[in-house]
Amino acid sequence: NAGVTQTPKFQVLKTGQSMTLQCAQDMNHEYMSWYRQDPGMGLRLIHYSVGAGITDQGEVPNGYNVSRSTTEDFPLRLLSAAPSQTSVYFCATRGVLEQYFGPGTRLTVT
Amino acid sequence: GEDVEQSLFLSVREGDSSVINCTYTDSSSTYLYWYKQEPGAGLQLLTYIFSNMDMKQDQRLTVLLNKKDKHLSLRIADTQTGDSAIYFCAEMGTGTASKLTFGTGTRLQVTL
C-alpha cells in the first residue's frame, strides 16, 4: 500500500516548456487535489477532483490543467511553464475526514 | 473567503512546552487540523478536532478550540528536537467538495 505517490521528485524546466506532474493513489479515495507551497504562503489549492471525470478550480488555477480519467490518477499539466510556477507541488487524497499528502515535486522554472 | 493565520516562527528550549496558535475566519468551519512538515517532506496529519469540541488530547499533543474567538492552538508537551518542523493549521467545512484551507505555517525551532 503505497498511499500517494508523485513523480518526478525534482524537475527543472525552461520558460515555455510543458510538462506533466504525475500523482497516483491506491487508497480508492474519490477526492484528490493539487497544492503548491511557496515560502510564507502556506499551501494553496490549484485544482481538485471529487471523482473520475469531475474536476474543478481551486484558489490558483491559472497556468495549470488537470484531468481525472481514473480514480487512481490525477495528473497536473503545465502547458507553458513560467518562473512564477517555481514551487513545491503536493498531490493529496482525502478519505472521510483525513487528507493524505504525497512527498512532493520540487519544480524550478528558469 | 476563508482565511487562516498563524505566526511564522516559534523557538522553545528542549523539554519546555510549545504552544502554536492559529486563527480562522470561516464560522462554518467544521473540522480543524494540525499538520507537521519536516524538511524536504510532505505534510503529516498530527490531529484534528471537530468544531463541537473544545479540547482534544493525544499523548504529548493537546488541541484547544475557542469557537467564539475562532482560535485554535496546539500544545506540545516536553518538546524534543525531533519536533522541529513547520506546523500548519487548516480548516474545512462540510460537504464532499469542501476544501481544506491552510495557514501560512509556523516554524518551530527547538534549542538545547
Is A48 within 8 Å of B99 when comparing Cβ atoms? yes
- Interface check B43 vs A, CB under 8 A: yes
Partner residue facing B43 (CB), from A45, A58, A90: A90
Report the C-alpha gap between A38 and A58 in whole angstroms: 16
pLDDT at B96: 65
| Nearest of A73, A85, A110, A104 to residue A10 by alpha carbon | A104
Contact (CB, 8 A) for B91 and B24: yes
Is A48 within 8 Å of B97 when comparing Cβ atoms? yes
Is A6's pLDDT higher than 60? Answer: yes
pLDDT at B17: 97
Is B43 within 8 Å of A43 when comparing Cβ atoms? yes
User: Which chain A residue has its CA at the smallest distance from B103's CA?
Assistant: A42
Is B41 within 8 Å of A104 when comparing Cβ atoms? yes
Distance from CA of A18 to the nearest CA of B (A): 24
- Interface check B55 vs A, CB under 8 A: no
Is A99 within 8 Å of B4 when comparing Cβ atoms? no
pLDDT tens for A42-98 read 899 999 999 999 999 999 999 999 999 999 999 999 999 999 999 999 999 998 888
The segments of chain B whose pLDDT lies below 50 read none
Q: For testing the chain B interface, which of A25, A54, A101 should be mutated: the one with the most B CBs within 10 Å?
A: A101
pLDDT at A1: 65
State the cell numbers at B63.
Answer: 488541541
Is A99 within 8 Å of B102 when comparing Cβ atoms? no
Partner residue facing B99 (CB), from A41, A42, A58: A58
Amino acid identity, residue A37? Answer: Q
Is A100 within 8 Å of B45 when comparing Cβ atoms? yes
Distance between start and end Cα atoms, chain A: 36
pLDDT tens for A11-21 read 999 999 999 99
| Count of Cβ atoms closer than 10 Å to residue A36 Cβ | 23
